[in-house]
Chain A
Amino acid sequence: MVINDFSIQVATVNGSGSQTANLVLLRSIFQMGVPVSGKNMFPSNIAGLPTWYTVRANKDGYVARKKEVDFLVAMNGETAKEDVMSLEPGRAVLYDEPLKLNALRSDLIFYPVPFDKIVATVCTDAKLRRLVKNMIYDGVLSKLLGIEMAEMEKALRKQFGKKAKAAELNLGALHAGFAHADAHLPKMDPFTVERMNTTSNMVLVEGNAAAAMGCMMAGVTVVAWYPITPSSSLPETLIGYMRKYRMDKETGKATFAIVQAEDEIAAIGMVIGAGWAGARAMTSTAGPGISLMGEFAGLAYYAEVPGVVFDIQRVGPSTGLPTRTAQGDLAQVAFLSHGDTRHIMLLPSSPEECYTMAMAAFDLAERFQTLCFVLSDLDLGMNTWMSERFKYPEQPVDRGKVLDAPTLARLGSEWGRYKDVDGDGIPYRTIPGDNMPAYFARGSGHNERGQYSERPDDYQNNVDRLARKFETARHYLPKPIVEDADAEIGIIGYGTSHYAIAESRDQLSGEAGVTTGYLRLRAYPFPEEVVAFISRYPRIYIVEQNRDAQLRMLLKMEIPGELISRLRSVLHYNGLPIDARSVTDDILVQEGKKARATARPEVTAGVTAGAGE
């Protein structure tokens, strides 16, 4: 018996309604108090291409993707053979009977299910059958894995919300699947779900929805965006929240403006115009949008205009893999735009941090009068995560240094729009319509008073002050989470790599006796703690989801030269969420404790186009 420690992979065709069935499966296990995670590996397509969804149940709370599939649900003839062939011996396969997958291997457990026959008995409308069919495998899994039917029903009703008719139809399919398994499929595999009590106060939420809540609570008033995967669900969820919770009670009018712009350039331009005019403004995009925003990002840095930019990272240069996850924008965002430009970045690793960092981002943008980037990724933004309930913000917002009458009286002629009067590099700004002294914001050279200037000393003084301001920011940003230990090696990571790292650390100590210290970065510019951490360990493994070791590159620029040789990389960049086993194996090989295995690249969960393309 393997209890609460396995992964289920559902292989279907996108556009077939399988996402609903998968979320019901995920939610029902969650409702049984068992830690669970879901990873959607979907194609860049609307309907008809292969898609995979992995649900992992783990009693120890590991929520990273598990590379090995324990229980395959094979609904898609196109990928079934490859999916089956990649399984380890002893694993289970629930499959659509006509696919005859049991002929492929003799070392697996097979459960054939005649989906078309069963769906015909519960759904009279032939057109709806395709959409209802998937709920049957939930019913079968309920029986085979011991997922309580009452929890499945509850999860299903929640998933369908007010669509009662659809819910009833799907309940029929769910029960039919259960009945079929009960009558025809004796239990042969070892995998079982048993009730636990770890999730009772938790919620299930996507990072993008969490970020949207944070933006609303931060008091965002202007949102400009352009549709792009995997970012769109952030502004779209935000639109829903704002229309529900941010209409003025007395007048029924909107306390916000949300604009779908003509492109990402216009989106960031609107954010900068609004930020300059005093609004809390934001946009959300992915790598290609970040590339387009480059010129404006430099303007915001140099003219010192606040704004918040979410980058929900996806894979690759150019269009890359639009529906897959990566941490590939770190270096580009840090220096986005020409000349000497630097940007503040926040690096959330959980929905809760998407929520809290969204609020922090607006404060930081206004405090430092610059863009604040929040680097999430597809895995965090679009997948469903368990989370503690979010806390209501206790603090008021920080609107930064805005010149008011008392400050102007105090400073008198000392005030200049770009003059550092406090020694922290941050000048006082004025806002149009405020009746404070006007200034001319510009991307061209300017002096402390905001006047056009090409003088060498004016230019250099100004960019030196900007560097000073960036130094001040270093001390304001979220601190790293450090878990020091009397350990052989250190690990540094950020964002969604955290979950693979946490699990890998246990594998390293449990399986190979390798103890580790761990520092999880949460912001750029990096805090001083990172240098101290690197000094404490002879070898530091930097785990990240890109090819070029971008985090290591940024660290190398900031740490003392003698520490640089301590840095090593563990890199994962095939588009799938990083898993613990890959991290563990890589570190053990680099530590000389394991021979480098002949790499067996992951081949499943990916589409190859047919001859026509």
Chain B
Amino acid sequence: MDSKKNRLGLEMTPYRGGKTTLCAGCGHNAISERIIEAFFEMGVDPKQVVKLSGIGCSSKSPAYFLGGSHGFNSVHGRMPSVGTGAMLANRKLIAIGISGDGDTGAIGIGQFVHLMRRNVPLIYIIEDNGCYGLTKGQFSPTADIGSVLKNGIVNDLQPIDSCTLAIQLGASFVARSFSGDKKQLLSILKAALGHRGTCMIDVISPCVTFNDHEGSTKSYAYAKEHDEVLGDISFVPFFEDISIEYDPGTTTQVTLHDGSKLYLKKLAEDYDPTDKLAAISLLHETARRGEFATGVLYVEPDKDDFVTLLNLVDEPLSKLPLSRVRPGPEVLDQLMESLR
């Protein structure tokens, strides 16, 4: 089955990872599979990819995909800073960070905020199950009001909506999906690979062990029932020179940074994913109905990313030879003279 090759001539093998140690049926495993497919199909060179994560069940998952890529499982809630440093060191890298709702919404909310604000080129996935799985099921900050733990404790705190937050903070690509929606998640991931800037993707990913019971708003049953799909997403990568037949009245087209095209069909209420206010308003409206909107919620294809804002040289900083990073003796002389 691995005989299929992508546009780099690579087989699926380097895109696969180690055997998962997460629970059978865990939504996170489905996300790992979509990541493998997306990176393979987009022909991303695994050698140029860095996988980053914090701590938690979600953060273990980078070991389960892209085995041919470098990975860094860092500290709880601080993956954004590690990813930022890596992208500054080598702007040619393609970074994918995996976080969870606790890793992002609780201990990591500070770094999350500033990652979005800087628009660091990085795909940031929240594997969102509304609970702390690895420490056995405590509430996370995305747990909905009224969620009930197995021991009967009810959550009565307002959940954090990571998508609303990300849009407001300056992320240039914000999406939400459901780990069970293979087609949509794959399209979103491929589109994210065509975008330059922070891609924040919140993926509802039920915890089969601690949060898949009745009363949980992050259960498979609840998610399937309340998933407000914005519309069909079609993604055409830049290297596939085809155009999609579409009826101009019902389809919105977005050209991404690398020339790839994103088609959003049959959108509710003529949804415009480049309209920030519309995106935030949609998120609030669906939340009020107890639903969650999925799809590409917001995209700003031309926004400068952090590397561009810093005016870095084209080559990776980590690869600059000494002659370009150590000024000559005349500079030291000049400095010494100024101090006499």
Contact = CB atoms under 8 A, between A and B. Distances in A.
B90 A270 contact: no
Interface string B312-334: 11101111101011110101100
Given A253-B314, A440-B63, A221 B73 contact: no
Given A203-B336, A278-B318, A270 B85 contact: yes
Contact of A257 (B50, B74, B310): B310
Given A270-B85, A390-B336, A245 B331 contact: yes
Given A251-B314, A299-B75, A432 B322 contact: no
B110 interface: yes
B314 to A, nearest CB: 7
A254 B73 contact: no
B89 A254 contact: no
Interface string A232-261: 000000000100011010010111110101
Interface string B246-264: 0000000000000000000
A272 B50 contact: no
Give the 3 A-B residue pairs with the shortest CB-CB distance, closest first.
Answer: A273-B85, A269-B81, A278-B318
B111 A269 contact: yes
Nearest to A217: B326
A332 interface: no
A396 B313 CA distance: 22
9 contacts: A213-B335, A221-B318, A246-B325, A261-B81, A276-B82, A281-B85, A390-B336, A392-B332, A438-B71
Contacts of A443: 73-75
Interface of A: 202-205, 213, 216-222, 224, 241, 245-246, 248, 251, 253-257, 259, 261-263, 265-281, 295-296, 299, 303, 389-390, 392-393, 396-397, 430-433, 435, 438-444, 452
Nearest to B317: A221
B340 A203 contact: yes
Nearest to B326: A219
B86 A276 contact: yes
B303 interface: no
A221 to B, nearest CB: 4
Given A261-B81, A269-B81, A276-B82, A222 B327 contact: no
A219 B51 CA distance: 27
A432 B86 contact: yes
Contact size range, B? 35 or more
B250 to A, nearest CB: 42
A452 B310 contact: no
Contact of B86 (A219, A256, A274, A430): A274
A432 to B, nearest CB: 4
Interface in B284-340: 310-314, 316-320, 322, 324-327, 329, 331-332, 335-336, 339-340
Contacts of A430: 70
Interface of B: 46-48, 50-52, 62-63, 67-75, 78, 80-90, 92-93, 110-111, 113-114, 310-314, 316-320, 322, 324-327, 329, 331-332, 335-336, 339-340
A216 B327 contact: yes
B111 A222 contact: no
A204 B78 CA distance: 41
A311 to B, nearest CB: 19
Contacts of A441: 70-73
B47 A435 contact: yes
B61 to A, nearest CB: 12
A523 to B, nearest CB: 23
Nearest to B88: A257
A251 B313 contact: yes
A445 B74 CA distance: 12
Considering residues A261, A299, A442, which has the most beta carbons from chain B within 10 angstroms of its beta carbon? A442
A218 B322 CA distance: 9
B14 to A, nearest CB: 9
Contacts of A276: 72, 82, 85-86, 89
A255 B325 contact: yes
Contact of B74 (A203, A272, A431): A272
Contacts of A274: 85-86, 88-89, 317-318
